[in-house]
Amino acid sequence: MKKARGFTIIELLIVMAVIAILVGIAIPSFRAMQTEAWKTKAEGDVKVLKIAIESYFKNHGSFPAVTNYQGTLRAESPPVLEAILDDPFAAAGTPYVYALSSNSSFYVIYSKGPGGTGLMTIQDTGQATISAGSPIYATNGW
């Protein structure tokens, strides 16, 4: 009688268990790398937006209005911003948050940061205040 070749159920279960363990280890590492990539993107985007806002100020003597500020920056001739930049930590299609002080002398532009809960304000003195989360930001204040 010939012996049948193949794998036993026990061997298949062991292989599946090893694969499940490897996947369990890999997914958290992937999430951490994804969060770091989003942080790097947000840092770069916020710097680009700060440069665009400063350029707008040089041309107009005032900062762009808070509503549709990225559209305003794109409408410049020549455009100071090529495309609308979205916050990777917010819902899809949500732009970075831009706020002006009440005297319109200072601004803060920020990403909501990891967890998507970052909130900031800017005072008339130029002091930027973080009121929640860990936003990634740029300001012309302090």
Separation of alpha carbons 91 and 99, rounded Å: 19
> What CA–CA distances, in Å, run from 103 to 2, 19, 106, 122, 142?
91, 60, 8, 10, 16
Q: What is the pLDDT of residue 1?
A: 62
Q: What is the pLDDT of residue 27?
A: 86
Instruction: Tell me the pLDDT tens digit for each residue of 96-122.
Output: 999 999 999 999 999 999 989 999 999
Give the confidence band of 7 by pLDDT, cuts at 50, 70, 90: confident
Q: Using the predicted structure, report yes or no on whether residue 4 has a pLDDT greater than 80.
A: no
The residue written with tokens 């509503």 in the block is: 67
Res 117: pLDDT: 93
**Is the model's pTM score more than 0.75?**
yes
* CA 80 – CA 141 distance, rounded (Å): 21
Mean pLDDT (the chain, rounded):
93
